[in-house]
Structure 1
Amino acid sequence: MQTMARVFAEAAQLHGSGHVRTALAAYLGHDVVGYLQAPAAEHTHRQLLTGAAQLITLLGTMSADSGADALAQRYHHTAARLAADAGDRAVFAITLRAMATHAHDLGHHTPAVMNLAGRAADAARDAPRIIRAYTQAHLAVTAAPEDRHTALTALHQAERLHQQADSAPGPFTAYPLAALHYQRAQTLAALGDRSHAIGAYTTSLRLRTPTERHARTLTHAHLAETLLAHGHLDAALTHWTHFLDNYPHLSSVRASRRLDVMRRHLVPHHRHRPAAALLDRAAPLR
């Protein structure tokens, strides 16, 4: 189950969730359900519950990336119950963080979402430092629209914990530095500090590995949007070009939404020849 979690997570990062989600759902339905129903010692059964919670959390996140928002919410709630039954506070915290991330990505920048991110950070108090950094970073993102002090405190805490942390490869044991810089950029952008957000997005891109195509593509899009908001049209066009280079290789509603945002932002600049060229290039894409 741990091996399959790595396989599915890596495939989603490379190709987007649309190509992977059905296979993961089938694996859960055909194999994992059988593992959970088989006789086992209590310790083994708890490990199986943890593994199932991790896989269902991945499935929920993939469903969110595919635009199946209600289904994603159900999966995340199921994963949280399984993690609680297993007594695994770290996986429980990760699942709550995934729920808060989904809500924030849908535009729900509300105190309720910030409270959910805060619950994730609280649940991770006794977890490894890398998990605590992971939850604190998203608390910073969700707090930024409402509470500057909480956002900056959580961001500094995430950075400190990340520097002190040891991590092992895997979707539930690693939190790449590139991802931390991405959340740092999101926080700073929400706080109105666009120049430092641009720097953080740029650092995130530099640290991304070739297998992180999905994250890299979204980062190009967000960096382009931030650059344009800062008045740098030509620099934004460079990153939207990279976004379009990668877009056809992904099956991701999150990427599709960024494509729609790109079109809206570039229409007012349609008389600028490079912007018009990108709009023409994007026209057949869905």
Structure 2
Amino acid sequence: MTERIADILDELGGGHARPMAAAFLVNTVAPYLRADASDATRKSMLAAASDLVYLTGWMAMYEKAHGLGQRYYLQALRLAGEAEDHVTYCRTLRGMALQAADLRHAKRAQELADSAAEAGPKAGPRLRAFLTGQQAQGAALVGDKRRAFSHLAETADALSQADNRRDFVGGYDQAAYHFHVSSVLYALGDVRGSVTAMQESNRARPPMEKQGRAHANGLLAQRQLEVGQLEASCATWDDFLDDYAHLSSARADEHFGVLRRRLRPYLKSSRVREVYDRAADVARHKAA
């Protein structure tokens, strides 16, 4: 069920996937966890539950329900601890680091990312990449350029050793790596480099990841505008709208609001008006 919810998240957004996850946790998972079972079976159930709780917390964080996301994360840590599931434990700490970064608590983001990496010292290469990539962002947010690039190098090395298996929860691939490169460069003031890295991320992103692509394009379009690339920004906003029309996501809604605010001063441009009018059509269609 966690895998199915992760697929729905990619395809339709957290607005559809999170209520399903929450209902399944309350109506199905919680009764299972109260059932009699052998120690091995109970730990297996706790581990499976912690994975879904982590995913639900991630969706809440992504949808800007930060307090709820924190509560889910704490429950995921508790369940993973009882299950002795070190992978989900460090994955959840990493999710908390991402949330701290999103809330601009730079020092806390760095501390949580480092704690997550320390909690999984024997992790496989893909999980190591997942953890060190977040360490790179945490270091960049506090201005530690040397550590940020050192962690990016570790991430690239670990990812090169990983197999081609796609993890439904807590996975890490080339799209995620280049997204982290873009985040690091942007935090360190290299906006043009950040734009190039985000474009690399989009080229590597699997086609089914509509929510992730919408978020990446929302950031990319804003950064292109920052460096004066108005035409390129409009093209990216067009790509964003392709996905946004089919998504239910507070994060995508936030990007949509930025689109309308940031393009409004440029409405004398016919290309900008074209995108702006298309955005209005998409909004009307979603409201219908």
Could you state the TM-score of these two structures normalised by the residue count of structure 2? 0.92
Q: Which residue of 1 aligns with 2:264?
A: 267
Q: Which residue of 2 aligns with 1:128?
A: 124
Q: Which residue of 2 aligns with 1:36?
A: 33
The Cα of 1:216 is off from its aligned counterpart by 1.1
What residue identity is the alignment partner of 1:115? E
What residue identity is the alignment partner of 1:218? H
Q: Which residue of 2 aligns with 1:102?
A: 99
The Cα of 1:280 is off from its aligned counterpart by 3.0
Q: Which runs of 5+ in 2 are unaligned?
A: none
The Cα of 1:239 is off from its aligned counterpart by 0.3
Check the 8 A contact 2:94/2:131 in 1, yes or no.
yes
**Counterpart selection for 1:187 from 184, 188, 200:** 184
Q: Which residue of 1 aligns with 2:15?
A: 18
Could you state the TM-score of these two structures normalised by the residue count of structure 1? 0.93
Q: Which residue of 2 aligns with 1:113?
A: 109
Q: Indicate yes or no: 2:180 matched with 1:172.
A: no
Q: Deviations over 1:52-94 (max 9, x none)?
A: 1100011111122333221111001110111112111111111
**In structure 2, the residue corresponding to 1:20 is in which secondary structure?**
helix
Whole-Å separation in 1 of the counterparts to 2:220 and 2:207: 18
Whole-Å separation in 1 of the counterparts to 2:58 and 2:223: 25
Whole-Å separation in 2 of the counterparts to 1:47 and 1:173: 18
Whole-Å separation in 2 of the counterparts to 1:142 and 1:263: 30
The CA RMSD over aligned residues, in Å, is: 1.7
Q: Which residue of 1 aligns with 2:244?
A: 247
The Cα of 1:171 is off from its aligned counterpart by 2.1
Q: Indicate yes or no: 2:78 matched with 1:81.
A: yes
**In structure 2, the residue corresponding to 1:8 is in which secondary structure?**
helix
Q: Indicate yes or no: 2:65 matched with 1:68.
A: yes
Report the count of equivalent residues: 282
Whole-Å separation in 1 of the counterparts to 2:262 and 2:105: 21
The Cα of 1:104 is off from its aligned counterpart by 1.9
Whole-Å separation in 2 of the counterparts to 1:261 and 1:216: 16
Whole-Å separation in 2 of the counterparts to 1:274 and 1:41: 64
Q: Which residue of 2 aligns with 1:162?
A: 159
**Counterpart selection for 1:212 from 195, 209, 213:** 209
Judged with a 3 Å threshold, the aligned counterparts in structure 2 of structure 1 residues 50 and 167 are, in CA distance, closer, same or farther, namely farther
Q: Percent identity?
A: 35
Q: Which runs of 5+ in 1 are unaligned?
A: none
